[in-house]
């Protein structure tokens, strides 16, 4: 993963804990977003989903998906081989 | 816009994220409708492939999902749908044939509109819209094709093309007053001037280059490989992975039963490594080398030829002899071969 896109990463708060985690490492775009959408349907409003992905462009796509659906993008952390993105399910979202 | 019951009208649209589908959605958002975009992942999108290769220095905007970008710009929800195996079957056997390349544009539209109709039945919705523009694309957007697509999808009257509506008969959403026909468009033809003016007016500036194309099926080089694959493989046995491999590397057909793929750079080498376990693979030793994958069962003479081609694209291409490893599973052969002459390559290149 190169640094240029990582610079776009909005850091997630250190104390943030997820209610559900999905691992999409190794999956090609747009499968991680499809899995995210499916997972969000299984959690309640206000819950936080963590999505693990090694696809660096998800740092662009996930915030866009959140803006389109109304969910709240909370930012991402980076580990050695993957990004950990956090999304909060909003009340009465469009998806 | 609401129905007689006071319920808000919901329009389901096909959103590729290109300029036309983005504008079509925006036209309906302007009229106060609830708009939901469906973005089909077909497996043939160039942005998705650039992303899978992840070449250093690649502009992230050329790798992002344009459907999601459009949804964010318009503040409309986008559902990303995997077109799946059924889409591949359609691509390999299009009822209405191919365009100039390997593009089954009419069948593709029918497939997606069918999908949108299924989505509408499951999740609710009042009609479907697309960003099609009359006369813009030679295969799928002339008057006869637009009518055929609507008829075959079984949603006659409920398929709105907001950008070309004034050139087409009024649809049910217009007749029922859900959509104001006067506020739809009368765009036709291949020029994008009107669309670009609209995008300027609405502040939509960050869209992919109009008519730039994102579909491998309309790409000349991909199409040659695609039709070669169809010509040499029982169509029903062709798998998704084989389509993925058509996007990568240099392709050479050495015999009716054997084809090879030679990586062009480190990103392609890494990409092809994931498929190396499927059959024979070749690599020049102790030097910069492409990874070469063979499809089919090359005999000993053919394996030597493949090794020669691999040597030709290695960093030792100017040496008289190059050592190449040929591997399959736990088997490894060491072949010492001369790099093949360039003139000979052209006869095999797909």
pLDDT at B77: 96
Q: How confident is the model at residue A7 (pLDDT cuts 50, 70, 90)?
A: low
Q: A21-47, pLDDT tens digit by residue? A: 999 998 877 899 999 999 999 999 999
Structure tokens at B175: 């007749």
Range of the domain at A36: 3-88
- Residues B10, B49: Cα–Cα separation, whole Å: 33
Domain CATH code at residue A44? 3.30.110.40
Q: B223-245, pLDDT tens digit by residue? A: 999 999 999 999 999 999 999 99
Instruction: Give the one of A8, A33, A57 whose C-beta lies nearest to B63's C-beta.
Output: A57
Q: A81-90, pLDDT tens digit by residue? A: 899 999 999 9
Q: Which residues contact B280 (CB under 8 A, 6 or more apart)?
A: B293, B294, B298, B303, B306, B326, B327, B328
Q: How confident is the model at residue B57 (pLDDT cuts 50, 70, 90)?
A: confident
What average pLDDT score do residues B258-262 get? Answer: 98
The Cα angle at residue B163 between residues B150 and B209, in degrees rounded to 5 = 110
Determine the CATH number of domain B10-215: 3.40.50.620
- Residues A40, B138: Cα–Cα separation, whole Å: 41
Q: Where are the domains of chain B?
A: 10-215, 248-345
* pLDDT surpassing 90 at residue B145: no
Which of B68, B266, B275 has the most A C-beta neighbours within 10 Å, making it the best mutation to test the interface with A? Answer: B68
Q: How confident is the model at residue A1 (pLDDT cuts 50, 70, 90)?
A: very low
Does A49 fall in a domain?
yes
Q: B177-213, pLDDT tens digit by residue? A: 999 999 999 999 999 999 999 999 999 988 887 655 6
* CA distances from residue B131 to A59, B170, B184, B197, B271 in whole angstroms, order as listed: 28, 16, 12, 16, 34
Does A52 fall in a domain?
yes
Q: Is A29 a catalytic residue?
A: yes
Of B232, B274, B226, B250, which Cα lies nearest the Cα of B342? B250
pLDDT at B208: 86
Does A94 fall in a domain?
no
The answer to whether the beta carbons of residues B95 and B150 sit under 8 Å apart is no
Contact check, Cβ <8 Å, A67/B71: yes
Structure tokens at B308: 């020669």
DSSP code of B8? Answer: B
What average pLDDT score do residues B62-90 get? Answer: 94
What average pLDDT score do residues B165-170 get? Answer: 96
- Residues B66, B131: Cα–Cα separation, whole Å: 14
Catalytic residue among A8, A25, A29, A31: A29
Contacts of A8 in chain B (CB under 8 A): 60
* pLDDT surpassing 90 at residue B221: yes
- Residues B18, B212: Cα–Cα separation, whole Å: 9
Which of A1, A24, A27, A30 has the most B C-beta neighbours within 10 Å, making it the best mutation to test the interface with B? Answer: A30
Contacts of A2 in chain B (CB under 8 A): 56-57
Q: How confident is the model at residue A2 (pLDDT cuts 50, 70, 90)?
A: very low
The answer to whether the beta carbons of residues B282 and B304 sit under 8 Å apart is no
Q: B95-132, pLDDT tens digit by residue? A: 999 999 999 999 999 999 999 999 999 999 999 999 99
pLDDT at B56: 86
Q: How confident is the model at residue B78 (pLDDT cuts 50, 70, 90)?
A: very high
Q: Which residue has the higher pLDDT, B5 or A52?
A: A52
DSSP code of B189? Answer: S
Note the ipTM here: 0.91
Query: How many domains does the structure of chain A reveal?
Result: 1
In total, the C-beta contacts within 8 angstroms joining chain A to chain B are: 78
pLDDT at B212: 54
Adjacent-strand bridge partners of B35:
B11
Give the sign of the dihedral formed by CA B111, CA B113, CA B117, CA B118: positive
Give the sign of the dihedral formed by CA B81, CA B2, CA B128, CA B192: negative
Per DSSP, the residues of B145-183 read: HHHHHHHHTT-TT-EE-TTTGGGSPPPHHHHTTSS-GGG
Contacts of A69 in chain B (CB under 8 A): 71, 77-78
What is the pTM assigned to this prediction? 0.93
- Could you count the other beta carbons within 10 Å of the beta carbon of residue B97? 11
- Could you count the other beta carbons within 10 Å of the beta carbon of residue B267? 17
Structure tokens at A49: 């989903």
What average pLDDT score do residues B145-164 get? Answer: 92
* pLDDT surpassing 70 at residue B339: yes
Buried b (16+ CB within 10 A) or exposed e, A19-34: eeebebeeeebbbbbb
Beta strand pairing call for A83-88 and A72-78 = antiparallel
Give the sign of the dihedral formed by CA B166, CA B169, CA B175, CA B179: negative
Contact check, Cβ <8 Å, B65/A4: no
């Amino acid at each position: 993963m190169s640094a240029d896109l990582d610079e776009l990463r909005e850091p997630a708060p250190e104390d943030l804990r997820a209610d559900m985690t999905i691992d999409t490492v190794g999956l090609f775009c747009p499968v991680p977003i499809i899995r995210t959408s499916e997972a969000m349907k299984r959690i309640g409003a206000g819950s936080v989903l963590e999505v693990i992905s090694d696809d660096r462009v998800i740092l662009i796509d996930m915030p866009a998906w959140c803006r389109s659906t109304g969910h709240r993008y909370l930012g991402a952390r980076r580990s050695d081989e993957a990004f950990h993105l956090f999304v909060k399910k909003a009340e009465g979202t469009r998806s | 816009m609401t129905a007689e019951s006071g319920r808000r009208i919901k329009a389901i649209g096909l959103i590729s994220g290109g300029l036309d589908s983005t504008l079509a959605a925006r036209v309906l958002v302007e009229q106060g409708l609830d708009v939901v975009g469906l973005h089909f992942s077909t497996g043939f999108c160039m942005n998705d492939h650039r992303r899978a290769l992840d070449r250093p220095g690649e502009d992230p905007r050329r790798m992002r999902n344009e459907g999601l970008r459009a949804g964010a710009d318009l503040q409309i929800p986008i559902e990303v749908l995997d077109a799946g195996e059924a889409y591949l079957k359609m691509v390999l056997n299009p009822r209405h044939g191919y365009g100039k390349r390997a593009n089954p544009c009419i069948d593709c539209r029918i497939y997606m509109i069918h999908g949108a109709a299924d989505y509408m039945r499951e999740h609710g919705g009042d009609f479907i819209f697309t960003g099609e523009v009359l006369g813009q694309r030679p295969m799928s957007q002339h008057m006869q094709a637009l009518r055929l697509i609507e008829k075959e999808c079984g949603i006659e009257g409920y398929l709105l093309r907001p950008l070309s509506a004034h050139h087409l008969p009024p649809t049910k959403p217009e007749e029922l007053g859900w959509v104001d026909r006067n506020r739809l468009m009368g765009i036709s033809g291949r020029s994008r001037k009107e669309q670009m003016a609209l995008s300027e007016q609405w502040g939509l500036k960050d869209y992919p280059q109009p008519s730039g194309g994102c579909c491998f099926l309309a790409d000349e080089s991909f199409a040659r490989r695609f039709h070669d694959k169809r010509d040499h493989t029982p169509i029903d046995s062709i798998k998704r992975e084989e389509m993925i491999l058509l996007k990568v590397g240099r392709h050479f057909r050495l015999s009716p039963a054997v084809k090879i793929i030679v990586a062009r750079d480190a990103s392609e080498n890494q990409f092809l490594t994931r498929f190396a376990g499927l059959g024979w693979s070749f690599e020049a030793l102790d030097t910069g080398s492409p990874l070469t994958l063979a499809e089919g069962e090359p005999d000993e003479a053919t394996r030597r030829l493949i090794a020669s081609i691999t040597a030709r694209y290695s960093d030792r291409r100017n040496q008289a002899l190059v050592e190449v490893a040929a591997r399959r599973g736990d088997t490894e052969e060491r072949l010492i071969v001369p790099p093949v002459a360039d003139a000979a390559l052209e006869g095999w290149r797909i």
